[in-house]
Amino acid sequence: MAENNTLDKLKQAKKTLESARTRQSELTGQRKGLLQRLKNEHGCETSEEAEKKLKHLDEQITEERGQLDEALQELDDLQKEIAEAL
């Protein structure tokens, strides 16, 4: 009876291991696909390169947002001057 219990545990462990291997294979395939897409769409070979590029783009966006805010403020000031002059 103890042998059956041990055998059942081993069978369950085997199923769990097979399931984990299948999942690992799926995830490896997804990772390869995502890295290929990253390379094709953004010219990055690694996720580290993509993070570096993303950081640079984020800095550019922040800078350009600041410039846009300044330009909008200047426009607003000019509109007020024109309104006062009329």
The residue extents of the domains of the chain are: 1-43, 45-86
Look at the chain and count its residues.
86
20-75: pLDDT as tens digits: 999 999 999 999 999 999 999 999 999 899 999 999 999 999 999 999 999 999 99
Would you put residue 16 in left (φ > 0), alpha (ψ -120 to 50) or beta? alpha
Instruction: Count Cβ atoms below 10 Å from residue 73 Cβ, excluding itself.
Output: 10
First to last CA, the chain: 101
pTM: 0.61
Residue 52 and residue 36: Cα distance in Å, rounded? 17
Q: Phi first, then psi: what are they for 62, rounded to 5°?
A: -60, -45
